[in-house]
């Protein structure tokens, strides 16, 4: 048995065989090319190589900054291969003389070269074949602008192992047969972690090369609570994981009675409990766990899932289905939040040097007004089936909010002119997830109907820590004084203007923080379905006045360590007191 240690990104335990996800291998078809089209094919080859070059450079920079210069240098040999005269000459000759398409010409050239390397009795050359194949696949993807088939889902219940999965990969993977995740990259709020928590399966991320090296079919035990992976576990580990899994089931069953009860404290303060979802299939889970509505629908996943831009009617169909299935409960549609780590080549949101500070969220939507308006029109139309609200991501100031509202007004005018049934007066809210939105919250609150605090990004931007980088994930501290003050300030600004404020970042799923969120005066918590019952239970136990006192004390602490230690101590004392009072849950 071998133990791998990473970051526990989604709690729980699972046991199963490894299913490795690597990008699908592209094998290009050979096609004849007319003489007049030879220059076109040569240009296609140049563009594909340029795209591959750009991608390798970015990856190399990222690896250097996250893993050190040595790791980054590994990819420089791939850059040299892209400039290799032999590869260029042979590929161009095949296009010109044999008149075949560029991708087939290039793949054959690489195949010939790999064959020659393999004939050489030298391990270094053999290793170069892997690099060559990697470069080949990158260039071949460059021909399709990255729009290649997604990962193949497992056919039996499995633990998914990969370097990293993009949101589009996870969307394509779905949820069936997924017992857990083990990833080489990523932190607590990376998207695989969010998906794992939303599916209620364990995840260990930040395994730095060990996950991708696991062999398909190899048995592993995943401890997402402790951040450990046991490879080929011994009998004792199997029994321990089995016991913990059964205990988990018992706890969930015990909490099931809470499903239809409201989150009301003993002194009568109410909190709305909503669910975060990415895909329509999660609606059932949200309802089963007692969600009073959808507090965050990350619509970008619907776009990623299909690899093409859905039409207005396509979107209306999917959105209507979700609104209808929620049976009159509210659904908050967050408009497209691409960019950052949610890259999508077909949408034109490319990888950037500093992606989280780049072209993402509302910036992307305002620059693609037609696409944005289409999505908004679809939401107005779907609202007819129940209750819907609109929310904009990554707002930094009033200009963006006003422009977005202008697009809403245009959307309503067009729908009216077209005679399409729609609900014109949808509440419009914004995510508070940038420090500038916190500082301008009083101004923003005057021109919208609600706030939802996105702590994943807010903590990332406030504490200057990349949420996907395992090296700095230790800086993710929800009780850091700067974060706590931001939360307090946002809630106050909202309430002073008479609007409600919720929180939908991942900190909403941490049971230890439930009392803090309650005491901050939030009106709504939106979290993934699996976490809802436990959070609700805390609120039903905790007098609001007590929660407020907890927050007041935490606001006097000077460091996250101090705040964490105080809270842990406080929770332990309350637990003992409850046990003697005979409260059970």
**DSSP code per residue over 14-56:** EEEEEEE--PPPP-PPP-B--GGGHHHHHHHHHHHHHHHHHHH
Distance CA 522, CA 340 (A): 27
CA quadruple 439, 352, 430, 532: dihedral sign: negative
Whole-number minimum distance, CB 131 to ligand PEP, in Å?
Answer: 34
Vertex 545: Cα angle to 544 and 546 (nearest 5): 90
Residues comprising the chain, all counted = 585
- When asked if residue 433 is in the footprint of Mg ion (CB under 5 A), the reply is yes
- When asked if residue 455 is in the footprint of ligand PEP (CB under 6 A), the reply is yes
Which of 136, 77, 128, 72 has its CA nearest to residue 109? 136
- When asked if residue 337 is in the footprint of ligand PEP (CB under 6 A), the reply is yes
- When asked if residue 136 is in the footprint of ligand PEP (CB under 6 A), the reply is no
Stretch that binds ligand PEP, among 35-43, 241-249, 452-460, 568-576 (CB under 6 A): 452-460
Tell me the helices (H) and strands (E) count for the chain, helix number first.
23, 17
Distance CA 272, CA 525 (A): 6
- When asked if residue 457 is in the footprint of ligand PEP (CB under 6 A), the reply is yes
Q: Which residue is nearest to Mg ion (CB)?
A: 457
- When asked if residue 456 is in the footprint of ligand PEP (CB under 6 A), the reply is yes
- Note whether 105 and 124 are within 8 A (CB): no
Burial class (CB in 10 A: 0-12, 13-18, 19+), 344: buried
- When asked if residue 524 is in the footprint of ligand PEP (CB under 6 A), the reply is no
Residue of 103, 282, 345, 457 that binds Mg ion (CB under 5 A): 457
Whole-number minimum distance, CB 493 to ligand PEP, in Å?
Answer: 18
Whole-number minimum distance, CB 161 to ligand PEP, in Å?
Answer: 23
Which of 434, 542 has the CB closer to Mg ion? Answer: 434
State the binding partner of 169 from Mg ion, ligand PEP, none, CB within 5 to 8 A by kind: none
- When asked if residue 454 is in the footprint of Mg ion (CB under 5 A), the reply is yes
Enter the tokens of residue 122: 């030298």
- When asked if residue 298 is in the footprint of ligand PEP (CB under 6 A), the reply is yes
Q: Which residue is nearest to ligand PEP (CB)?
A: 454
- When asked if residue 468 is in the footprint of ligand PEP (CB under 6 A), the reply is no
Whole-number minimum distance, CB 399 to ligand PEP, in Å?
Answer: 21
- E strand spans, 104-205: 158-162, 178-183, 203-205
CA torsion 551-552-554-557 (nearest 10°) is: 160
Which of 12, 454 has the CB closer to Mg ion? Answer: 454
Q: What are the catalytic residues?
A: 191, 504
Stretch that binds ligand PEP, among 113-121, 132-140, 448-456, 481-489 (CB under 6 A): 448-456
Enter the tokens of residue 115: 């064959």
Whole-number minimum distance, CB 232 to ligand PEP, in Å?
Answer: 35
Site for ligand PEP in 393-432 (CB under 6 A): none
Total residues in contact with Mg ion, by rule CB under 5 A: 3
Residue tagged 């009392």 (tokens): 515
Binding site for Mg ion (CB under 5 A): 433, 454, 457
Binding site for ligand PEP (CB under 6 A): 296, 298, 337, 433, 454-457, 504-505
């Amino acid at each position: 048995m071998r133990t791998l240690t990473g970051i526990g990104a989604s709690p729980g335990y699972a046991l199963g065989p490894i299913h490795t996800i690597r990008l699908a291998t592209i094998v290009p078809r050979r096609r004849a090319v007319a003489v007049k089209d030879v220059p076109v094919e040569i240009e296609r080859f140049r563009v594909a190589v340029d795209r591959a070059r750009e991608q390798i450079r970015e990856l190399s920079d990222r690896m250097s900054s996250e893993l050190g210069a040595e790791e980054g240098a590994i990819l420089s040999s791939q850059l040299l291969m892209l400039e290799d005269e032999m590869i260029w000459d042979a590929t161009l000759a095949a296009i010109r003389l044999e008149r075949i398409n560029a991708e087939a010409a290039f793949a054959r050239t690489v195949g010939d070269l790999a064959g020659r390397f393999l004939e050489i009795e030298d391990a270094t050359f053999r290793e170069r074949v892997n690099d060559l194949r990697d470069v080949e696949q990158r260039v071949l993807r460059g021909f399709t602008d990255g729009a290649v088939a997604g990962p193949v889902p497992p056919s039996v219940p499995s633990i998914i192992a990969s370097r990293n999965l993009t949101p589009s990969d996870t969307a394509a993977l779905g949820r069936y047969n997924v017992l857990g995740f083990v990833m080489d990259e990523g932190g607590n709020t990376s998207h695989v972690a969010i998906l794992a928590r939303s599916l209620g399966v364990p995840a260990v991320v930040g395994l730095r090369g060990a996950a991708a090296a696991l062999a398909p079919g190899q048995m592993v035990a995943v401890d997402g609570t402790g951040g450990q992976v046991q490879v080929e576990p011994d009998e004792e580990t199997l029994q321990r994981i089995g016991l913990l899994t059964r205990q988990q089931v018992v706890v969930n069953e015990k909490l099931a009675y809470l499903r239809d009860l409201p989150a009301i404290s003993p002194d009568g303060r109410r909190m709305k409990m909503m669910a975060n979802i990415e895909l329509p299939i999660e609606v059932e889970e949200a309802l089963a766990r007692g969600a009073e509505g959808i507090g965050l629908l990350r619509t970008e996943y619907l776009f990623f899932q299909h690899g093409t831009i859905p039409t207005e009617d396509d979107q209306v169909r999917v959105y209507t289905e979700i609104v209808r299935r929620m049976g009159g409960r509210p659904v908050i549609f967050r408009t497209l939040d691409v960019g950052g780590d949610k890259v999508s080549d077909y949408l034109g949101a490319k990888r950037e040097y500093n992606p989280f500070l780049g072209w993402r969220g509302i910036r992307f939507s305002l620059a693609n007004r037609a696409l944005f308006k289409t999505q908004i029109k679809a939401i107005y139309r779907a609202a007819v089936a129940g209750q819907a609200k609109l929310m904009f991501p990554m707002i930094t100031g009033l200009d963006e909010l006003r422009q977005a509202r202008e697009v809403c007004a245009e959307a309503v005018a067009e729908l009216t002119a077209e005679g399409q049934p729609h609900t014109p007066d949808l509440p419009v809210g914004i995510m508070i997830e940038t420090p500038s939105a916190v500082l301008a919250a009083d101004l923003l609150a005057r021109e919208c109907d609600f706030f939802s605090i996105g702590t994943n990004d807010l903590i990332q931007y406030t504490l200057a820590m990349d949420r996907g980088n395992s090296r700095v994930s230790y800086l993710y501290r929800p009780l850091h004084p700067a974060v706590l003050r931001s939360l307090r300030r946002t809630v106050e600004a909202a309430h002073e203007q008479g609007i409600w404020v919720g929180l939908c970042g991942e900190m909403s799923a941490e049971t230890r923080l439930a009392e803090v969120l309650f005491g901050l005066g939030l009106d709504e918590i939106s979290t993934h379905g699996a976490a809802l019952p436990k959070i609700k239970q805390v609120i039903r136990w905790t007098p609001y006045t007590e929660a407020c006192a907890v927050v007041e004390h935490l606001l006097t602490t000077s460091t996250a360590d101090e705040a964490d230690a105080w809270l842990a101590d406080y929770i332990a004392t309350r637990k003992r007191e409850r046990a003697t009072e005979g409260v059970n849950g």
